[in-house]
Structure 1
Amino acid sequence: MDAELAVLAGTAGTTLVTLLTTEAWQRVSDGITSLWRRAEPTRAEAISAELEVARTDLLAARDSGDAEVGGELGAEWQGRIRRLLVTHPEEAAALRRLIDELQPLTPDVPSVTQHATASGHARVYQAGRDQHIDQR
């Protein structure tokens, strides 16, 4: 998969989870479900139901103060969307349009972009959050 599609899947996963607990959640659900409806119609209803479960889980986690669930769900949906784009790259343009349409509804969340190059025996460690490295 090319890096651009991987970034697109990451943005989509984050946007989806960010908006699941807002008034825009139904628009997000409809948009993501329509991607599957075009690409893999037999899975569309299951995806819609899984989005409902994700929303319920996220709301419950927010109420209980569990801050980890959002990141976990974001990674889960990023993976699902990435796999969809691998098998149906023609859906990338529709996904970009959906993200552009949803962008004004997204609360201001800082964006992080990381780039790294390693050569030889070099190692690169990058993290968007805490990182603990224990080399022995």
Structure 2
Amino acid sequence: MAQEDGMDPELATLASTAATTMVGLLASDGWETARDWVGRLWRRARQPERVGTLEGELVATRDEVRVARESGDADTEQQLAAAWNIQLRRLLTSSPELAHEVRRMVEEMRALAAEAGSRAPRVDMRARATGHGRVYQAGRDQRINEWE
């Protein structure tokens, strides 16, 4: 079944997956791979004049993703992925022959993301409170306001 915009559903899913994976990678050390990936892909689509602009947009997206993650703003990250989804849909509509390369690059980015996750330090917290004692633990920022 074709989508309303006439795009093949498989390509639409691929664009969405690629955008989400790419935006997720931007907050990690592997962000340069995503930048290089964008450049190679648009060059292969014979659109080299867009590469500089898109790489600049990717750097701006990276900054926005980092701020969103620091503030716990998942909506912004989803919106950024949606914006890149549009870019990738346009690319795949004009150059559907690049689908195999997009699939390969998604797998590469997923492997990088998994590797970055495995390098993250493991946090193992244990606590015991007795009586009227309290325990506060956090893997990240924690704010405690108590008024008695």
TM-score range, shorter chain: 0.7 to 0.9
TM-score (norm 1): 0.74
Work out which of the residue numbers 61, 67, 72 in structure 1 matches 2:79. Answer: 72
Aligned pair count reads 108
Report the counterpart of residue 70 of structure 2 in structure 1. Answer: 63
- Larger-Rg structure: 2
Report the counterpart of residue 124 of structure 1 in structure 2. Answer: none
TM superposition shift of 1:65: 2.8
1:62-113 deviations in whole A, cap 9, x for unaligned?
A: 22332211100011111110111001112111111111222222348xxxxx
Residue type of the partner of 1:36?
W
Report the counterpart of residue 47 of structure 1 in structure 2. Answer: 54
Kindly indicate whether the alpha-carbon contact (under 8 Å) linking 2:22 and 2:109 is maintained by their aligned counterparts in 1.
Answer: no
Report the counterpart of residue 123 of structure 1 in structure 2. Answer: none
Kindly indicate whether the alpha-carbon contact (under 8 Å) linking 2:23 and 2:81 is maintained by their aligned counterparts in 1.
Answer: yes
Q: Does 1:3 align with 2:9?
A: yes
Work out which of the residue numbers 28, 31, 54 in structure 2 matches 1:25. Answer: 31
- In structure 1, list runs of 5 or more residues that go unmatched: 109-136
TM superposition shift of 1:41: 0.9
Distance in 2 (alpha carbons) for counterparts of 1:83 and 1:103 = 22
Identity fraction in percent: 43
Report the counterpart of residue 36 of structure 1 in structure 2. Answer: 42
Distance in 1 (alpha carbons) for counterparts of 2:103 and 2:71 = 33
SS of the aligned residue for 1:106 comes to helix
- In structure 2, list runs of 5 or more residues that go unmatched: 1-6, 118-148
Q: What's the Cα RMSD here?
A: 1.4
Distance in 1 (alpha carbons) for counterparts of 2:75 and 2:44 = 32
